[in-house]
Chain A
Amino acid sequence: MSEMKTGGQIIWESLMHEGVEVVFGLPGGAILPTYDDLAKYEYPIHHVLVTHEQGASHMADGYARATGKVGVCIATSGPGATNLITGLATAYMDSTPIVAITGQVPTSLLGRDGFQEADVQGVSLPVTKHNYLITDIKDLPDAIKEAFYIARTGRPGPVLVDVCKDVQQASMPFKYPETVNLPGYNPNINAPEEAAVSRAARLINEAKKPVIVAGQGVSIAKAEAELRQLAEKANIPVATSLLGIGTFPATHPLSISWGGMHGEAYCNYALQECDVLFAIGARLDDRLTGAFDTFAPNAKIIHVDLDPAEMGKNITIDTPVIGDALLTLRNLLPQIEPNEHPTWLEQIAEWKADTSDRDILAQETDELIAPYVMRALWHSTGEGNATVVSDVGQHQMWEAQYYHHTKRRSLLTSGGLGTMGYALPAAIGAQMGLPDEEIWVVAGDGGFQMTMIELSTVVQEKLPIKIAIINNGYLGMVRQWQDVFYNKRHAGTPLFNPDFVKIAEAYGIPARAVTSKEEAAEAIKEAQAYDGPFLLDFQVEEFTNVYPMVTPGKSNADMIRRPNSMTPQGE
């Protein structure tokens, strides 16, 4: 006989069955029965109290990306649940596995506009892989089982389970289900069709100018080693998408960095000139491709993805390969012939040399600029040995350009939704999952202020997160667009900033402002040496912009290159 359990107990026991060790949340009326059961169980799962529910969903996201496990967040009905939405949308765009559990008003009040009622199933519908509204306790165990299964299998994503308050209080005999019954769900976790793999192999073997584009799918499938074998076996240069950073060491001779709107020029030239493009686990979004019909115009494109809807969504594909990245690479590798591609690699080396000549760090300047800070951080963290959680904007692009990631899953960033405010809470989640990892937040002064209230969570959980604010006094990337496309009219972009050092100190976090190049490396060392969180406010030159830059809707071939001199572009 199964024991009688309340809905709240069923939630916690189900999470334990799924191996959940930590949840991020904030209680409220409609989820209180479940919180009460957590107390009765004497906290078998560590609950991280957040300051704002948006932080909870970003923390679950950061935890999931850093560990590869499902992140869990929990909130009450109404505003609690709607506050999770930005984090769920962020996770949905970047395929992060999250299970969100929300309280809902009692079933007797559903639809009556009661206090703190919101249609959370409706609101979360377009930003979740799936969602549930539970009005009967009998449906609760299956829903949680299915939520975890759906979140982590196939193309991962967030799943929300909205549980009415009376369901949490009701009781039933409970046994965690062992199977799921989802007749409409096919996660495509199998190997791709043999014929498709053979076609891909033939194209790669015949290619004169091949390029690999590796996306986050490679990392989700844990296929980094196989990707490297493929590249090395046939000497194929590897570009990544923004989220694919870390799938291939940026310091590897075959790495051609990452491509797209702010990707390195030599990478974009290689993407435009290649004759075969092997894209794996990347969804080929507009930020990578530029105008869709101008991308890789001479290339036969092979697209490996386990989501059939990605095939031909944006780019016309020659060879679609639907399947898991790891199984695809394993089946593909024996069919790949060793190759040298000397002429092609020489051409790329030439473009790369030109890129280096134009590098902003090759210009003479005494100003403190973000690329310099990123290089200093890279050197100080064992040449790319930290996990960096970047926010969204100019600093995010400089981080990706100048912090050369060599470890898998070592860059966590909101690539698809571009959610400012992501970095600090996501870093908290990452540090909860990886307590021994050196974790750096790199955030702009605008984005940092959106979620800096979670500094209290950093202190509460005693997390040794290091924070680097790239402070230029502007919403920098927006300002950059105004500089380039709106005749330098800076509407709404200059910021009135607080003293970030004092902010940190108010939370009991030591902090230091950095205003010159000379101090940068030493300040980073001071932060590292401190046993606990530390904040550095890098007050950088305010008008520096990010290059290269591809105009939205234009071809990557027409990118604006880095200027050859350090004339401030804002003047």
Chain B
Amino acid sequence: MSEPQLKRHTINAWMEDKPGVLNRVAGLFRRRNFNIESLAVGHSETPGISRMTFVAYGTDRDMRQVTTQLDKLINVTHIEDVTHLPAVKRELALIKVKANNQTRAEVMQLVDIYRASIVDVDMESLIIQIVGKEDQVDSLIKLLQSFGIEEMVRTGRVAMVRGLQEREMGGTDTAVPTHQNGHH
């Protein structure tokens, strides 16, 4: 048997927007000892369906467990591992950095180079918004550290496969007759 390869996986999951669904997903990650690096969740294009992107580290086999176990959650409608698919993967970060009259220009130069933007200006600080791949975000953060980072928030990766694709919903959304107890 060859050594299993550990790698970073990007997985999209769609789920019914019901109370407690995030708890179910998070609980499953914890209970099955899955190692999740980041998780971003919000509305999808379908009303009532939320979309989550999470990044997990492990072997292909680990990821099959993650996706098949998640898929068993009743409220999860679809799962897609986009690691090996052509996909746009982005993260947003807000970084509050110290900046006064002496340093502001230098910071703004960096912001320009990274195609980030300044979304708030104060006498003593700036809030910088950057959208990009994680390594770009990491790199800007590293450079800004010398000015002094006061606060930072990162959304975690979100991902979308390029081009048109069909998504199957494998659930029970058709009429199911009333069963007598015990039949199946």
Contacts and interface: CB of A to CB of B under 8 A. Distances in A.
A176 B178 CA distance: 9
Given A129-B74, A312-B64, A313-B65, A185 B171 contact: yes
Contact of B181 (A69, A184, A316): A69
Contact of B179 (A67, A149, A307): A149
Interface string B139-175: 0000000000000000000000000000001111111
B176 A121 contact: no
Contacts of A19: 180-182
B74 A184 contact: yes
A18 B181 contact: yes
Given A133-B20, A183-B16, A125 B73 contact: no
Contacts of B76: 184
Q: Majority SS of interface residues in chain B?
A: loop
A17 interface: yes
B71 interface: yes
Query: Among the interface residues B20, B72, B78, which one has the most CB atoms of the partner chain A within 10 A?
Result: B72
B56 interface: no
Interface string A167-209: 0000000001011111111110100000000000000000000
A309 B69 contact: yes
A183 B64 contact: no
Nearest to B170: A186
Interface residues of B, number: 37
Contacts of B16: 183-184
Contacts of B177: 178-179
A189 B184 contact: yes
Contacts of B7: none
A157 to B, nearest CB: 10
Contacts of B15: 184
A130 interface: yes
A152 interface: yes
Contact of B65 (A126, A133, A309, A316): A309
Nearest to A150: B74
Interface in A45-81: 67-70
A148 interface: yes
Interface in B35-57: none
B68 A308 contact: yes
B181 A148 contact: yes
Interface in B19-33: 19-20, 23-24, 27, 31
Shortest beta-carbon contacts, A-B, top 7: A19-B181, A309-B68, A69-B182, A184-B77, A183-B171, A186-B170, A179-B175
12 contacts: A70-B181, A125-B20, A130-B74, A148-B181, A153-B184, A180-B172, A182-B173, A183-B173, A184-B77, A187-B172, A309-B68, A309-B69
Interface of B: 1, 15-16, 19-20, 23-24, 27, 31, 61, 64-65, 68-69, 71-78, 169-182, 184
